[in-house]
Structure 1
Amino acid sequence: MRVRLEDVAAAAEVSVTTVSRVLSGRGTVAAATRERVHRALERVGYTRSTLLRPSPARLVVVGAPEAPEHWQLDVCNGVADRLQAEGLLTAPVFLGSDLADVRACIAAGAAAVVTPTFTELDVDVPVVRFAEAAVRAEAPRPAGGTRVGGEWVAAHIDLTGGLTLAFEHLSALGHRRIGLVCNESGALARQLEERFLAEHPVRGLTSRLDEWIAAVPKSYSGGIEAATRLRDATCTALIVQSALQLYGVFAAMRQRRLVVPRDLSVVGFGDSSTMRYTAPPATVLGLDNPGMTQALVAGVRTVLDLPGEGMRSVPPTYRPRLLARASTAAARS
């Protein structure tokens, strides 16, 4: 059975952060505590020789999804820049299904992983990430942030609030048959589906909501497939998770000689400069990228016990804001 940092911490009766300090050779740890950790390492059979040697600087993995959204890349870049400015080394990786690149960085001495995703990561160092605002941890809360298992939630993203904004906007325009285009896999896609079913404005009036969800590949062609399917299911408006899918939705309408928003209103998730230059400019649920970046950096400071502002005892909640442009209009009677 693979031994984790949590096992060592439990055996030594210290925190995971203290174990991480001993392994990395950095930070202040009492001699007696250090000796207790080393005895626990031997007792539970935990070895990682590269971390037992002092390193010139702390290494942090900055992980993005394999097919990241623009906002996730923006946050990753911001986190890497901030951490480097504070004297840390960063290793940018993509979070593959087997986490091979992440594990390679950990084997090379990475002390933590930080990622603008909702995905739980099974690795042997602390993970700083996001969670959906409706998901609350039942585990005891430490001095800073919310800890879920071996992971630290630096901020909550209010998907429910974002979908509510989109529903309110589209409902005010007369739309009732509102569909969802989401990725075919991933924690964010699953949570969007759950909130879509729970928050849809006509959830008590129709049994067709499942037909109005298109879980498709996170791609341009996936967007074309989804738009075609949902338009045939009589949807008059769509909420779209991925930018690539959104571009495909627009293309599908052109292929059918239909027009956005006359024949189909579209709301995207996450803003970028390209969203303002689609034809027509896309209405989107924008996110606070600088705020989310700051929250993740504060999480890394807390986990690694670094100077500066750490995680709050109650992590901030970020709610998307609706940026109404020209891809939404009144439903046709």
Structure 2
Amino acid sequence: MVRARGANVAAGPTLAVVAREAGVSVPTASKVVNGREDVAPETRRRVTEALDRLGYVRRPRFAGAPALVDLVLHSLDSSRSGAVLSGVEAAAYEAGLEVVVSAAPARGRDARPEQGWLDKLAARGSAGVLFHPAELSAAQYAWLDHHRIPYVLIDPVCEPPAGVVSVGAANWQGGVSATGHLLELGHERIGVIAGQRCTMAGEARPAGYRSALASAGVRYRAEYVRHTDAGEAGARLRTHELLDLPEPPTALFACSDRMALGVYAALAEREVRVPQEMSVVGFDDLPEARWTAPALTTVRQPLAEMAATALRLLVRMTHGERPEGTRTELSTRLVRRASTAPPPAVRPAAHGPVTAQRPTV
């Protein structure tokens, strides 16, 4: 079951304040408030005394109601968010959980958390929180840790702090697959439109591209790699830059499907045909990849599976378990459609399969 954000919170101290007063986590305080039995007697006593001392008003709750988890999205109207929500909802149903979906009002790495929103999250008595796309500020991480609220990041934008649990995709291997496919078709002049530097995808996907070129014995050309944000407009501009080179690429690897749409727009403006004159590969396999003309060859990032995996990890964490590793990566795979073909006058067998070795760090 998915509930909308915005339920009224009772006046008075929040559950987070009670948890701090009793020296316990917010989920533990929530268990006491909701009459759960899996709480030690001494812990229950401290929480109960804190509730009475602070005058906490217990919200009415239906008997047998399932535990809550929060899913915090930056947007509720994108196909990426839809895939994440689908995966979380399916896994939550299996686990007997209820999901509260909200859009985070504070965005960006430098954003400050809005205390009212964070307190509402705690006051709901959620067992834990999932974030997508995960781009939290240092203050937000500190708030979650201070209140002992378990949380998992889905597809984090930047490398999370040490000890933070996250679920993502095999970005490097996806870059290898995309580039290897173009190499096998006979392309050697392969351009890349990548995400911003210092982001996980913006670094790992071009790194896979470079490894695939090296394994195939194809020269790396720095002028063929352009970075921008994840939107269509930036990709469109970078595509025009690549087309203006003295020797432009014959194929482009756009490191997201949204970027690929910007590539398509630029190629249409220059009357460059896909795939006859320019092959294009994307990354994500969003529904838009199937709707474009021609349908986009892309690397499938399993967003729904990533979200379901994050929910299962969160459930384990609410039970006091700790994952063996903080980073879980799900495999990617190439989905061949109609946007790629051999370059003019080049046979498909110019290169064999690419088996790039991931660099050791």
Identity of aligned residues (%): 26
Q: In the alignment, what sits opposite 1:229? A: 241
TM superposition shift of 1:129: 2.3
Query: Aligned AA for 2:175?
Result: L
TM-score under structure 1 length normalisation: 0.71
CA deviation map 1:140-183 (0-9, x unaligned): xxxxxxxx2xxx33x34211111111121122223334333345
Q: Structure 1 residue 218 and structure 2 residue 227: aligned?
A: no
Q: Any unmatched runs of 5+ in structure 1? A: 140-147
TM superposition shift of 1:269: 1.3
Greater CA radius of gyration, 1 or 2?
2
Which of 31, 42, 56 matches 2:41? 31
CA deviation map 1:240-299 (0-9, x unaligned): 244333222112111111111223221111223432232111101113345324312312
Q: In the alignment, what sits opposite 1:144? A: none
**Change over 3 Å in CA distance of 1:69–1:242 after alignment to 2:** farther
TM-score under structure 2 length normalisation: 0.67
Query: Aligned AA for 2:150?
Result: P
The answer (yes or no) to whether the contact 1:175–1:236 under 8 Å persists in 2 is: yes
Q: In the alignment, what sits opposite 1:145? A: none
**Change over 3 Å in CA distance of 1:321–1:116 after alignment to 2:** farther
Find the aligned partners of 1:131 and 1:274 in 2 and give their Cα distance. Answer: 19
Find the aligned partners of 1:248 and 1:273 in 2 and give their Cα distance. Answer: 16
Find the aligned partners of 1:163 and 1:295 in 2 and give their Cα distance. Answer: 22
TM superposition shift of 1:311: 8.4
Counterpart mapping for 1:62-211 below 5 A: 62-66=71-75, 70-83=79-92, 87-96=96-105, 97=107, 98=111, 100=114, 103=118, 105-111=120-126, 112-120=128-136, 122=140, 123-124=143-144, 125-130=149-154, 139=163, 148=164, 152-153=165-166, 155-184=167-196, 190-199=199-208, 200-201=210-211, 202=213, 205-206=219-220, 208=222
Other structure's SS at 2:308 match: helix
**Change over 3 Å in CA distance of 1:218–1:33 after alignment to 2:** same
Query: Aligned AA for 2:130?
Result: V
**Change over 3 Å in CA distance of 1:183–1:137 after alignment to 2:** closer
Q: Structure 1 residue 283 and structure 2 residue 297: aligned?
A: yes
Query: Aligned AA for 2:42?
Result: A
TM superposition shift of 1:32: 0.7
The answer (yes or no) to whether the contact 2:230–2:256 under 8 Å persists in 1 is: no
The answer (yes or no) to whether the contact 2:296–2:339 under 8 Å persists in 1 is: yes
The answer (yes or no) to whether the contact 1:298–1:311 under 8 Å persists in 2 is: no
The answer (yes or no) to whether the contact 2:274–2:294 under 8 Å persists in 1 is: yes
The answer (yes or no) to whether the contact 1:180–1:196 under 8 Å persists in 2 is: no
Q: Structure 1 residue 247 and structure 2 residue 271: aligned?
A: no
**Change over 3 Å in CA distance of 1:174–1:224 after alignment to 2:** same
RMSD after superposition: 4.3
CA deviation map 1:271-330 (0-9, x unaligned): 234322321111011133453243123123223339xxx986467531110011111122
- Equivalent residue pairs, number: 305
